[in-house]
Amino acid sequence: MKLLRTVEEVRQWRAEMRSIGRRVGFVPTMGALHAGHRSLIDAARSGNDAVAVSIFVNPTQFGPQEDFDRYPRPLEADLALCREAGVEAVFHPDVSVVYPPGFCTWVEVRGPLSESFEGAIRPGHFRGVATIVLKLFEIVQPDSAYFGQKDAQQACLIRRMIGDLNLPVELFVCPTVREPDGLALSSRNVYLSPEQRRKAPVLYQALKRAEAAVLQGETRAEVVHRLMVETVATVKEAQLDYAAAVAPNTFLPVETIEDDVLLLIAARFGNTRLIDNLPVVRPRNA
């Protein structure tokens, strides 16, 4: 496995892969890798000849009061996971490589997709996401890229950017990996206290309760929303940011659930903020 730290090193590696006809799958990460990231790497491995992973804690997607400085950075453990998973190359640049002095070019996906939910709560977050993902695509030049369903709004936004800019990258969104009690794997789960960790699965419980209602024929989004709110309210440690039913490809809220829907939820447990979602495929005879 090669550890690459500059754009030139990545470009040279990519040229080598191209010269021998190897298809490259790419998994962009901020490190603190867990089984969810491993599932993305495995998916990339199954569909490509070589896998590249980036490990870069991107400062431009963090707000001023967010956790950039304390975000976990266990590089040696991350590299060990990549080696075990058979990754061919890891791109781990310094911030100055990605954002050199005088950097002033930004990528924005405008509209409700970037301005609602996570975009509303974290202003500027998706500008940072779109910018770093496009830069990484241009540097690595992968044939395909792999993202997790847990960050559904991010994945939807990246799909929009790929389509709008005609980027030659095939996007794959892989299922959320969960703990046995339903909690979605996240690098930020390490922030939870033991008591908060015990209560955090309430988010998944809320999603499953809402899913059950939809699958039983409930079409009123307000009812589905209320079920999620009521479920989270049973845990006093959880402070709900939002719960919603949205169209999966636009993130526009729906009033009547007449087709497949994406259930969203986000809440704070003390200083730790968790997000989750659940795609629901409605029975076609409903």
Task: Return all residues near 151 (Cβ < 8 A) that are at least 6 apart.
Answer: 275
The token pair that represents 260 in the structure block: 């497949």
CA distance 34 to 143: 24
Q: What is the DSSP string of 75-122?
A: HHHHHHHHHHTT-SEEE---HHHHS-TT--------SHHHHSTHHHHS
**What strands lie across the sheet with 144-148, from one edge to the other?**
2-4, 89-91, 50-55, 24-29, 144-148, 170-174
Catalytic residue among 34, 37, 92, 125: 37
Q: 37 catalytic, yes or no?
A: yes
CA distance 9 to 146: 22
Tokens 């079920």 sit on residue: 227
CA distance 10 to 130: 20
Catalytic machinery residues? 37
